[in-house]
Structure 1
């Protein structure tokens, strides 16, 4: 892991002041994929706007020298949420009968990868949560499997698969105890 200059973490519960920075970092992080419909900046903006209106929305952004270098955001999902309905096989009631935190996106600019920034963002997001579990979806092919392996090293376990939209690849649904 590379040592990085200090970062400042800022937590937001609305998009009012964070939206532009989230879109800016997203476009940089996903630049090689922006030509694909599911990864287009406009598609991300639509998802972000929708997620920001859902219960428990929280975003944490990392700043270095006043510039955004990474982000994470998510919200609360309840029993019966479409998130769980799209997961195959259906998750055990243990995971779905109570609210869970859904980590919807995490991204760190290339020059900040390997510095611990993603983990700091992740942990800061979890520090805002009181749900017993946190879940996320990952494209198992991302980074030639390295992203999936990273989440496993953070304590996540595979739970099933989901295809959130027709334009989305099939994603691996992962879960872990939030605390």
Structure 2
């Protein structure tokens, strides 16, 4: 196993999605193989990949260990018409939720295969994705019941601003924000 400092971190944009879509789905399938979450299936996740990768400003970083993908992170800026904050409780003030299309980068997915967890790979991939972002902040949603994951994001500088069930069938999620 390679430590995070030995990973090859490769950046991909919206134009590259055709070349990496199956890789994203395959890594997801491995990471969620034991999950009973109905939203974790390949078809459901493929819809999320397609939704996010079609957005203006889509960015993805894949970490490779000797050519083998170990994990990735991707997201896109929130548009002016976003509903990201609409169902967050407690209700957030308009000056917080107002989006310009360049204010907030939404980290949609971050996942690392089992053999590379605990090596720093997730943080290295995350940090590379956000390294050159021009937005003032990043946001993500994390399962409320996943306390260890929330604590990890807190160590990385995120803070919880509320809770949300963003769409029917989704679990209760914590909305978190990090200033860039």
1:105 equivalent to 2:106? Answer no
SS of residue in 1 equivalent to 2:90 = coil
Tell me if structure 1 keeps the 8 A contact 2:138–2:178.
yes
User: Corresponding residue for 1:64?
Assistant: 65
Mapped to 1, the partners of 2:84 and 2:157 lie a distance apart of 20
Mapped to 1, the partners of 2:29 and 2:166 lie a distance apart of 20
Q: What is the root-mean-square deviation of aligned Cα atoms in Å?
A: 1.7
Mapped to 1, the partners of 2:12 and 2:141 lie a distance apart of 22
Q: Which moved more, 1:93-102 or 1:59-68?
A: 93-102
Mapped to 1, the partners of 2:5 and 2:155 lie a distance apart of 24
Tell me if structure 2 keeps the 8 A contact 1:5–1:64.
no
Deviation at 1:90, TM superposition (A): 2.8
User: Corresponding residue for 1:91?
Assistant: 92
Mapped to 2, the partners of 1:150 and 1:5 lie a distance apart of 19
Deviation at 1:131, TM superposition (A): 0.5
Q: Structure 1 regions of 5+ residues with no counterpart?
A: none
1:35-74 matches, within 5 Å, as 35-74=36-75
TM, length-normalised to structure 1: 0.90
Mapped to 2, the partners of 1:68 and 1:56 lie a distance apart of 23
Q: Structure 2 regions of 5+ residues with no counterpart?
A: none
Q: 2:118 aligns with which of 114, 119, 122?
A: 114
Task: Give the direction of change, closer, same or farther, for the CA distance of 1:62–1:3 in structure 2 (3 Å limit).
Answer: closer
Count of matched residue pairs: 174
Deviation at 1:4, TM superposition (A): 5.7
Deviation at 1:79, TM superposition (A): 3.9
Mapped to 1, the partners of 2:94 and 2:8 lie a distance apart of 38
Mapped to 2, the partners of 1:68 and 1:50 lie a distance apart of 22
Q: 1:131 aligns with which of 122, 129, 135?
A: 135
Task: List per-residue Cα deviations over 1:95-134 (Å, max 9, x = no partner).
Answer: 3334200000100011101111000111111113111010
